[in-house]
Amino acid sequence: MSRDSASATSAPLLLLVDGTGVAYRAFFAVKHLSAPDGHPTNCLFGFVRLLDHLAKALHPDRMVVAFDGGSPASRLEKCPAYKAQRPHMPDDLRCQFPLLDDFLDAAGIPRCLIPHQEADDVLATLATDAAAHDWTVRIATSDKDLMQLVTPAIHLVSPSKDLAVLDPAAVQAKTGVAPSQIVEWLALIGDVADNIPGVPGIGPVTASRLLADHGTLEAVYAALPTLTPPGLRAKLVDARERTDINLALMTLDRHVPGVPAAATLPPPVPPSEDALVAFYRRHNLNSFVSERLFLSPPPPAPPAPTQLSLF
């Protein structure tokens, strides 16, 4: 995917990266990689390579990596069990997050972590502000919650080799609903990953049909007397409080305090090449030096001396 295919206009392109999600993905995708002193580097390896792949494919004008700063108190108040089922972060992954920070600093890539705010909400705030100022936005994430942000200006990009794009049409094809209906669709089906139960007995297909027929969850409940079969009506009635809670839990916050405005994001700065090379070598990522990941191309070889012929 080229910059031209990412945007048919001259609007500046902002690339946002779900840093926590990409780190987890890299950690479990790359196995048995460590530095000479034995500390693990598998997450770091996959993280750097994926960011390089994104940067070379999209050629963004600005780039920000967002990390989780914890769950907001507002979500925990509504659902104390929110994400409570998730296992603790593996120690071999946790110890690599400072290395990710060191890499981003050496590469000149801004990062954003707001205490007690999830990366999803930080990304939503950045994307919404940028799009409001006529930027094109691409968000590298595999989190389905972020499909609610998709518009003609904001697309999701899979953090994988193929960099598959989710635009409004692709969201509709994938889920059966428009991006503007994603929150209500999730409120019906729930989200196992976040420990949010949906309406028992209502899966993605039924939820898509209800929203296709009625438009909104409020309209679905307004049409309860006409819904068939009767068992479906009973399920929705019993889960009314649950769906209201789910709507609040799953609606991303697009106005997180402390998140920088798009207009204030710094332009790319040349990386500290000596520091970046030293960083790669210290963590046994020598292939990144030869491949010039986030490094300037090597100078061209001098031309071979011309030999004059006497004959």
Distance CA 278, CA 276 (A): 5
pLDDT of residue 85: 66
* % of the chain exceeding 70 in pLDDT: 90
pLDDT of residue 311: 47
pLDDT of residue 255: 96
249 Cβ contact list (under 8 Å, min separation 6): 75, 78, 79, 82, 194, 196
pLDDT of residue 72: 76
Q: 12-168+253-291 has which CATH code?
A: 3.40.50.1010
Residue 104 has pLDDT above 90, yes or no: yes
User: What number is the average pLDDT over the span 149-163?
Assistant: 96
**What is the per-residue burial (b if ≥16 Cβ within 10 Å, else e) of 74-113?**
ebbeebeebeeeeeeeeeebeebbebbebbbbbbbbbbbb
User: What number is the average pLDDT over the span 208-236?
Assistant: 94
Task: Give domain limits for the chain.
Answer: 12-168+253-291, 179-250
Task: Please tell me the class of the 179-250 domain.
Answer: mainly alpha
User: What number is the average pLDDT over the span 289-307?
Assistant: 78
CA atoms within 13 A on the CB side of 48: 30
Triad 175, 56, 282: Cα angle to 5°: 110
pLDDT digits (tens, 9 = 90+) for 237-274: 999 999 999 999 999 999 999 999 999 998 888 888 99
Residue written as tokens 């769950």?
A: 71
User: What number is the average pLDDT over the span 2-21?
Assistant: 77
Mean pLDDT over the full length of the chain: 90
The 3-state DSSP class for residue 310 equals: coil
Distance CA 57, CA 242 (A): 42
DSSP string, 41-66: -HHHHHHHHHHHHHHHHH--SEEEEE
Distance CA 230, CA 211 (A): 18
Distance CA 197, CA 215 (A): 22
* % of the chain exceeding 90 in pLDDT: 77
pLDDT of residue 167: 98
Residue 3 has pLDDT above 60, yes or no: no
pLDDT digits (tens, 9 = 90+) for 120-149: 999 999 999 999 999 999 999 999 999 999
CA atoms within 13 A on the CB side of 121: 23
